[in-house]
Amino acid sequence: MESGKAEEIGLNRAFIVALPSGGFRSGRRRPFPDDVARALASKENLLRLDSLDSEDRGLRDIWETLVLTGRRCTEVLSVRLECISRLNGLPLFWHDQTKVGNFDQAIRIPERLFLRIEKRQEKTVTRFIQHKGRPPTAQERLSLALFPRRPTNREGLKAVSYTWFSSSFRGWIDTLDIVSACVPHQARHTLATNLLKNGADLTHVKRYLGQISNEMAEHYVHLANTDPRLESALQALWVAGPGSAEPGILLSGGEPMTREQAEALAIDLTRQSTPADGGFCTFQPVVHGDACPWNLNCHSCDKFVMSGADLVYWHRKREQWRLLAERAPDSATADYLHEVFEPTARAIDGLEKALEAVGLLDEALALDLRRPQDYFGRVWSTAFRSQELACQQDGGEAA
């Protein structure tokens, strides 16, 4: 209507306005939140899922296979009876990845899943014997569906439909105390994210899941945000903090580094520094256990440094100061606040330039790598030396 095309072709305005919308979907499937994942793996809830499968078509077996393998739903639903084997004692799951053109692919599976599928094979064979009056031949076993549908399937070649599984899954979800909307495909995203969080290389994850796209792989990386090499690179890049004579000056090298140099930088954070609020303390007496002589006033201390892993933290600080200045009662107060924060702003600018020089700025802005345990219960704030604690232990044993 806006372009005038509707009027040109004589399409009635009332028809266009009354045409129902097909809806709008955006974004990607999310991994299951922790509470949802726990609910979907609960033994009690899995027994409830079992109870919904009145004809014992393998509803729970399908779900557990999806969770433990990260396969697409259709890849699991359509597997044949002979879908598992052992190779050098290792349990394997054989399936077709029809979406990406990979056929007869095998992946490692846990032993408990292997045993569960073995029991399902026995049930499927028993059902075949009931229908045919004889066990299936070796050739028939290759064609039989592991999860056969009930209607119009006398030969046992047709697998259960996605509609049947999806509706059964929704019926199960409706019986659980889950706020989030859930679909089975989220199990695949959850597995991918957990693999990356636990140190798996992205190349291995892509291969295991069956040729996920580069766009989706990038999405998984941002969700996992714990690539150890990236984290090491961001933490190895240091600039002087706001309390130094030159806030923002690069400390972890005299000139811009390449990404590889940043990853290989020989700075042992666990020995030469200790975590502080928004960065690291490099004052060696404090690092080795002494009390802080400046009462933990880190941001005004010239021994305080900021790393690439702290950029998101400092962006939040800068936004807080800007809001304070905007709400100042008069311009003089606003100018004073800007002046107080100016060294910190210089340090942030220096950190951003250093990150941009090594190609890590986008990653630093996307990932907040500082963990709560980096600040909680800091040992160095108690003023106990480790050797003194050791002496106390020895003394206690002697006593």
Q: Which helix (H) or strand (E) holds 223?
A: helix 214-224
User: Any idea what the CATH number is for the domain that residue 66 is in?
Assistant: 1.10.443
Same domain for 148 and 283? Answer: no
pLDDT category at 31 given cuts 50, 70, 90 is confident
Q: Are 236 and 258 in contact (CB under 8 A)?
A: no
Domain boundary residue among 151, 184, 217?
184
Query: Of 165-169, 233-237, 241-245, 345-349, where does mean pLDDT reach its minimum?
Result: 233-237
Same domain for 242 and 169? Answer: no
Output the pLDDT for position 269.
41
Which of 346, 324, 348 is closest to 336 using CA atoms?
324
Domain boundary residue among 149, 184, 219?
184
Same domain for 107 and 249? Answer: no
pLDDT category at 190 given cuts 50, 70, 90 is confident
Output the pLDDT for position 149.
92
Residue 338 lies in a domain: yes
pLDDT category at 116 given cuts 50, 70, 90 is very high
Same domain for 343 and 255? Answer: yes
Same domain for 281 and 370? Answer: yes
Specify the higher pLDDT residue, 354 or 253: 354
Residue 217 lies in a domain: no
Most confident of 59-68, 95-104, 325-334, 385-394: 59-68
Query: Could you give the CA distance from residue 42 to residue 36 in angstroms, rounded to a whole number?
Result: 10
Output the pLDDT for position 65.
95
Output the pLDDT for position 157.
93
Same domain for 50 and 153? Answer: yes
Residue 20 lies in a domain: no
Same domain for 167 and 313? Answer: no
- 3-class DSSP state of 273: coil
Residue 297 lies in a domain: yes
Q: Is residue 263 over pLDDT 50? A: no
Residue 8 lies in a domain: no
- 3-class DSSP state of 341: helix
Domain boundary residue among 167, 184, 201?
184
Nearest 10 degrees: Cα torsion 171, 177, 181, 185: -70
* Number of CB atoms found within 10 A of residue 151's CB: 6
Residue 13 lies in a domain: no
Output the pLDDT for position 171.
92
Residue 209 lies in a domain: no
Residue 14 lies in a domain: no
The structural domain count of the chain equals 2
Same domain for 232 and 180? Answer: no
CA distances in angstroms from 58 to 70, 88, 101, 150, 279, listed in the order given: 17, 28, 26, 12, 53
Question: What is the extent of the structural domain holding 126?
Answer: 34-184
Output the pLDDT for position 268.
42
Output the pLDDT for position 267.
41
Which of 275, 264, 345 is closest to 304 using CA atoms?
275
Q: Which helix (H) or strand (E) holds 123?
A: helix 111-132
